[in-house]
Each structure stands twice: as structure tokens, then as C-alpha cells.
Amino acid sequence: MKTIVISLGGSIVASDGLNTDFMGKLAKSLEKMDRKIKFGIVVGGGSVARSYISALRKYGVNDNILDEIGINATRMNALALASFFEDANSRIPTTVNDAVEMSRIYRFTIMGGTEPGHTTDTVSALLAERNNSDILINATSVDGVYTSDPRKEKKARKIDALGYDESLVLSMKGLSGAGSNVFMDPTALNIAKRSKIKIFVINGLDIDEYKNVIEKGETTGSVIR
Ligand code: UTP
């Protein structure tokens, strides 16, 4: 039995309100896939996390508390997504260990963040590493890895395939821009690098992309290896 881990960006499930339509479609599509595959889905915080964090940051609230608020948002989104699956957990695991235990029972294990100091990208990389997964799907609101932020720079160019080190340079470069939103955080990339987990960065809203990656190992996004 192999496990495929998906890092589902918060902006995909909760951008302007909860994207329930998308959640229903994703569940239907993944449920149709080979039953020998188990899924670990790590959901981001999206607009809920962002709006709470930015509102409280103005009042000087401690970063550790802000992270806890973000974690709660990710878990709320995870529980919302889990309700669309027939065979998924209804209690959200709070650690990777807990998620691995739960995956013995369910075909779909859905979780959010774990502890302050990182993002759900890192949680997904840890979960993939723990499950000996050879691939990790990073479902984002951008359709791949770009030379710079395509939402800000017209000359940004998509990179079809890149090495871990190149992806780390781009991720670090993105982090230095204030308020920037990088395709994947460097901690997650380092975990993937040490365990040679191939990362597919895909347009998370395109349901066919999940199927293409899982069944054919192909994407119109980017591959990091
Ligand atoms: P996300 O993983 O969604 O953060 O977690 P993000 O990458 O900034 O946002 P998107 O999904 O790409 O839009 C939301 C927030 O929750 C906290 C962090 O503050 C993070 O920014 N968090 C999340 C943690 O502290 N620990 C976790 O394990 C996960």
C-alpha cells in the first residue's frame, strides 16, 4: 500500500469563503483512484488564517499565538474537507505520529498544522517522509514554480523541472520579499531533498492535474527532484 501526500494550499480551499464546490469535486475524483493508494492531505489556513493573523498582528500579538491561531484555521479547513470524503477521519490529528496511526484506519487522513514555527508545507513533507512516499503533491494557487512571483512580475517564467538546490534558492529569494507567498517553504524542500521525495507543484484548482500526477507521473506544473 503506498501513500500519496498532498499539501493543499489554504488559498485553494478557503479564498473568499469556503470553496465547497472544489472540495466536493476533489473528493469525488480522489475516491475514484486505485484503492491500493492511501492519501494524506494536509490543508492550509487560507484567508481565515491570513485575516485573523494580520488583524491581531496590528495589536502586537505574540507570533507564537499567531501561529496557534493559524493552526486552528488549518484544522478547521481540514475538518471541512474531511466531511466530503466517505472514508476519512472526523477528528483532526494534531501530530504526524497521530496522522500515521489514523491512516491505518482510514483511506484518507486529513490534517492541518502541528506546532508553531512552520507551515503546512513542512507538515506535508514530514508526513510524506514518514510514510516513505516517493512523491509529494504541492497543490497551490499558482500553476508551478516561477523564476519570480508571476503575480507581481510580468517577466516571470515557469520552470518545468528543477533540482532541490535550485528550488531552495528560489524559495529563499521569495521569502525575502515582504508579505510574499512562496511556492513552498525551504524547510519542506530540505526534508524532500534529504529523503529524495519528488515534488509536483501543480495548479490545485485543476482537478485533472491530481490524476495526471498520480496515474501518469505527469504535470503541466513543475517537478522538483
Ligand atoms: P499555512 O500552511 O496555510 O501557511 O498555515 P501559509 O503557507 O502562510 O499560507 P497558504 O496556505 O500558502 O496561503 C497558516 C498559518 O498557520 C501557522 C503559520 O502561522 C501559518 O502561516 N502554522 C501552520 C503553524 O504555525 N504551524 C503549522 O504546522 C501550520
pLDDT single digits (tens) 97-114: 999 999 999 999 999 999
Q: What is the mean pLDDT of residues 162-176?
A: 90
Contacts of 22 (CB under 8 A, 6+ apart): 12, 13, 205
Hey, how many other C-beta atoms are within 10 angstroms of the C-beta on 155? 8
Task: Give, as one character, the DSSP assignment of residue 140.
Answer: E
Nearest to 109 by CA among 99, 117, 122: 99
Q: What is the mean pLDDT of residues 165-173?
A: 94
User: What band does 162 get if pLDDT is binned at 50, 70 and 90?
Assistant: very high
Residues whose beta carbon lies within 6 Å of some atom of ligand 1: 9-11, 44-46, 49, 66-67, 70-71, 74, 113-116, 118-120, 123, 181
Hey, how many other C-beta atoms are within 10 angstroms of the C-beta on 52? 17
Q: State the average pLDDT for the chain.
A: 95
Q: How far apart are the first and last CA of the chain?
A: 23
Nine-digit cell at 140?
497551490
Instruction: Specify the number of domains making up the chain.
Output: 1
The sign of the torsion formed by the CA atoms of 184, 187, 190, 191 equals negative
Contact 77, 10 (CB under 8 A): yes
**Cα of 145 to ligand 1 centre, how many Å?**
19
Q: What is the mean pLDDT of residues 49-70?
A: 96
**Cα of 119 to ligand 1 centre, how many Å?**
4
Question: In terms of residue numbers, what domain contains 100?
Answer: 2-224
Q: What is the mean pLDDT of residues 159-180?
A: 84
CATH of the domain at 126: 3.40.1160.10
| Total number of residues shown for the chain | 225
The residue contributing the CA closest to ligand 1 atom 6 is 119
**Cα of 35 to ligand 1 centre, how many Å?**
30
Closest ligand 1 atom, residue 68 Cα: 25
